[in-house]
A and B are shown apart, each in its own frame.
Chain A
Amino acid sequence: MSDTSVHAAVHAAPTSFIRKYVFSLDHKVIGLQYYALAFVAVFTGMVLSWIMRVHLVWPNAPIPGLGWLAKVGAPGGVVTPEYYLQLLTMHGTLMVFFVLTNAPFAAFGNYFLPIQIGAEDMAFPRFNMMSFWTTFVAFCILISSFFVGDGPPLSGWTGYAPLSAVGADAGPGQGLGQSLWGISIFVFCIASLLGSLNFIATTLDLRTKGMTLSRMPIVTWAWFITSCIALLAFAVLMPACLLLILDRVAGTSFFIPAGLNVADHIQPHQGGSPLLWQHLFWFFGHPEVYIAILPAIGIVSHILICNMRKNMLSHKVIIYCMMAIGFLSYMVWGHHMFVSGMNPFSSLVFSFPTLMITIPATIMTLIWLGSLYGSNLRINSASLFCLGFISMFVSGGVSGFFLAQPSIDIYLHATYFVVGHFHMVMGVAAIMGIFAGTYFWFPKMTGRMMNETLGRWHFFLTLIGTYAIFMPFHYLGLAGNVRRYSAFQDDYLIPLLPVHKFITYAALFTGAAQLIFVFNLFYSRFKGPKASENPWECTSLEWSTPSSPPPFDNFGGKHPVVYHDPYQYGVKSSSGDYVMQTSPEQAGAGS
């Protein structure tokens, strides 16, 4: 790679407050902005889930403060059936889009990808700034739905038509609220597409001298592969949202057939297909869940390699597995639609690539386990969250064995079994990846260490708590407990209420445990012990910057040269048992 490409990203050092902290072109600031947005989104989403869980087991008890916040949705603090579904919709939308797409990918990826490849910034710093602020606008549009007439939509984060398409007749929140949702997601797609373009161009064009593709850390590969998936996936969701908005406001009928009698009004539409929405949505939606998990896979692999002081059994195989998962992710969307009314032959066809995804996922898991063997794993908060990730990835993954088979899905579809499955992989494993990244990279981003004792308490309470919440979801599913119910009144559901109570207590307990993390994050930012330049003795380029946080151009005017892959651990060298990627030293064998 010639030196000229490295100069392409240069922009002047910011001077004004606005340029430094608000409308910044610096990928590091933008990464932190995404992190902050994800932080607000995750706590909002978590509070919504507490309200939902409390309502499910104490339906008539007024929730303190809620009556004042939601006069229409929860008069006297008691959640109405429609408000429960509205909270559910917002919980899912916030978590999937604004947390799981933002934090592991946009936040950490923006901050560290350019540094890890030796670049001064992303390829398109202005697009990058636009991406974040567009995401922020999408967030504001979404949140605004809480404050309009009858509130946010109640159609779930999946927004199935015709419920989402026919307008206010379908129920509370289905008027303006649903339109705001559609616009918010449309705008989010624009931001995502810009972000993905940036990641791809940067990775391909801005690698510094010596940084071949094969010398990029696994996590850099993960962000790159994720951005390729995201480019194709969001490119489909965006027009889908547009078609939905047109059905709602322009009288089109992409998703609405003739003759619908909704609340005694015959809907003035004809010729549309509700299944078309499902195909478009899930064509995006399945790759989206891999967009959520792949960066976490990369982060966990990266942190484990550093803490094990040895490479994975094969980093190449992990990278190929990530590519295989990315590729296969486009072939399986119909597994969300087995009993949807689509051709049952299609259901069988979709189930086979779905089952096949087990193979790269298993290979990666076996490689992680096999790499732990014979290592000397340093235990710290970051590495503990990586181990927690592996455990949750397995737990969430094996329930996929059931759901991938259409015959079994006849029974388990739309039950809590599905909800348990996706929460374990997305809601816990991916979040553990975010936590691991936070504890690991905090010293680089702030120059201070997070408190290790608090970190361990956070980890162990979260591990126990999340298993206590989500493992019982599978038991409920086996009993046929239907999902997205605001109350459990059916004969067969009432005996399951003790299980729900247990889950609610676990959820509140686990939520409280996150306050330890919040305190640690903010306290350490200002009062944490100063960190050395490379506290984890990690070889990749982010640890070779001249300061923590790095200077605005990452390397202080120098252009790093790369001599090694990032796996020089367990070797004899002048720094100890590792050689930095930027060090010309050739290590002696063994440690």
Chain B
Amino acid sequence: MGGKIFAVLIVIIALASAVPIISHTFLGASVTPPEDISTHGKAIDDQMSVTMKEAGISFLAAQLILGLFVWQFANRRSGAAKTFPGGATAMVIVAFLFVGAEVLALGLVGSKAWATVYFKPAAADAMQIQAQAGQFAFYFRYPGPDGKFGQIHPDKIDEGNSNFFGLDPENDIASRDDITSGELVVPVNKEVQLLLHAKDVGHSFYVRELRIQQDFVPGLDLSVHFTPTKVGKYEIVCTQLCGLGHYNMKSYLTVMSQEDFDKWLKSQSS
């Protein structure tokens, strides 16, 4: 009796689990990645889609077979013990040939998507913007007309006076025209190289729609590049536990037309 209850339950659970994956909703909420607004995102989404199908089939097959075998063979009234055809050898072969080859293929194909984000260097004419993460806010810095970023002095950081990066414009010419912003504003269809600087502890930059996530590591000069393809406003959230304000550490990525961006940048420097 318990075996049959288990078998029915496991089939119901397996099928019920699959429904939100297929329908992309659960209890009225959308439970799927949002629309991709990047040039590299399609490869990632395709990889997720293939993996979902393979994982989904493995999941359903295993749970349904478990349910079926328990239904058939739990507390049987009669019948001799039987051995599964092929025995353990069949299992080892199936595991290597089907699952092993499958995950190897996933890994190899997925490397391309990874390489696009991480191996390909930023274009020579990518727009460089610096991002600083600190407990508990993101700030962004544009180099200004001179195209150079001024030096960061951690001891000169003064949030009360909006000197978030610790610049020293009196002594450092390059920093005089730097533009600081609480939001990341970029023009559409232009490659951006984000230079990541951590002020205090580890943080991370995550924009779902961009399909980008990269940790800020204190002491390391890291960067990430992307090309946004759609005008709009998208949330930037911190995904590396950084202290009590971690849940509230956010900003916005605003993607504008080139014309609007030029106007915006000009308005920031005045």
Contact = CB atoms under 8 A, between A and B. Distances in A.
A301 B166 CA distance: 61
A384 B6 contact: yes
A341 B218 CA distance: 10
B218 A379 contact: no
Contact of B31 (A264, A266, A499): A499
A339 B13 contact: no
Contacts of B173: none
B43 to A, nearest CB: 7
A259 interface: yes
Nearest to A501: B27
B166 A407 contact: no
Interface residues of B, number: 107
Q: Which of A347, A407, A410: most chain B Cβ within 10 A?
A: A407
B117 interface: yes
B101 to A, nearest CB: 10
Nearest to B78: A376
A395 B17 CA distance: 10
A81 B245 CA distance: 7
A310 B81 contact: yes
A172 B244 CA distance: 8
A407 B30 contact: no
B248 A314 contact: no
Given A314-B88, A317-B92, A479-B30, A259 B54 contact: no
Given A366-B91, A384-B2, A411-B44, A274 B114 contact: no
A504 to B, nearest CB: 12
A384 B2 CA distance: 8
B169 interface: no
A247 interface: no
Contacts of B119: 344-345
Given A170-B243, A272-B219, A479-B33, A313 B88 contact: yes
A522 interface: no
Contact of A399 (B55, B70, B250): B55
A334 interface: no
A373 B84 contact: yes
B31 to A, nearest CB: 4
A502 B43 CA distance: 33
Given A339-B215, A352-B107, A407 B44 contact: yes
B154 A359 contact: no
Contacts of B118: 344, 347
A210 interface: no
B48 A261 contact: no
Nearest to A414: B239
Contacts of A478: 21, 31-33
Interface in A243-271: 256-264, 266
Nearest to A376: B76
A351 B5 CA distance: 39
Given A362-B95, A490-B237, A154 B244 contact: yes
Contact of A407 (B84, B110, B208, B242): B110
A258 B217 CA distance: 12
A273 interface: yes
Contacts of A274: 202, 217-220
A99 interface: no
A162 B201 contact: yes
B28 interface: yes
B211 A410 contact: yes
A559 interface: no
A407 B111 contact: yes
B73 interface: yes
Q: Which of B3, B21, B62, B206: most chain A Cβ within 10 A?
A: B62
B2 A414 contact: no
A160 interface: yes
A563 B126 CA distance: 74
Contact of A413 (B213, B217, B219, B235): B213
A590 B80 CA distance: 9
Contact of B104 (A257, A355, A475, A480): A355
A549 interface: no
Interface string A369-394: 11111111111100010011011001
Given A317-B92, A373-B84, A492 B235 contact: yes
A406 B1 CA distance: 45
Contact of B26 (A262, A375, A472, A485): A472
A488 B250 CA distance: 12
Interface stretch (A37-45, A104-112, A463-471): A463-471
Contacts of B84: 313, 370-371, 373-374
B222 interface: yes
Contacts of B90: 370
Given A377-B75, A391-B10, A414-B213, A402 B208 contact: no
B123 interface: no
B60 to A, nearest CB: 10
A387 B6 contact: yes
A80 B248 CA distance: 13
B213 A476 contact: no
Given A405-B47, A407-B47, A394 B63 contact: yes
B264 interface: no
Nearest to B105: A355
A85 interface: yes
Contacts of A266: 154-155
Contacts of A273: 219
Interface in A316-357: 317, 339-341, 344-345, 347-348, 351-352, 355-356
A340 B10 contact: no
A93 to B, nearest CB: 14
Given A313-B84, A363-B95, A171 B244 contact: yes
B214 interface: yes
B27 A499 contact: yes
Given A160-B241, A405-B107, A486-B247, A495 B29 contact: yes
A166 interface: yes
Contacts of A156: 241
A215 interface: no
B76 A160 contact: no
Contact of A369 (B5, B69, B79): B69
Interface in B155-182: 155, 157, 166
A340 B217 contact: yes
B109 to A, nearest CB: 9
B131 to A, nearest CB: 14
A58 interface: no
Contacts of B111: 348, 406-407
A496 B44 contact: no
B89 to A, nearest CB: 8
B240 interface: yes
B219 A460 contact: no
A367 B94 CA distance: 11
A434 interface: no
Contact of B83 (A313, A362, A415, A456): A313
B96 A261 contact: no
B44 A261 contact: no
Interface string B1-37: 1110110011001000100110000111111111000
List 10 tightest A-B contacts by C-beta distance, closest first: A257-B219, A374-B82, A314-B88, A344-B118, A475-B31, A407-B113, A366-B91, A82-B244, A370-B84, A414-B239
9 contacts: A154-B244, A170-B243, A260-B199, A313-B87, A314-B88, A358-B99, A370-B84, A485-B247, A490-B250
Given A379-B1, A407-B43, A499-B26, 4 more contacts: A366-B95, A370-B90, A372-B73, A485-B246
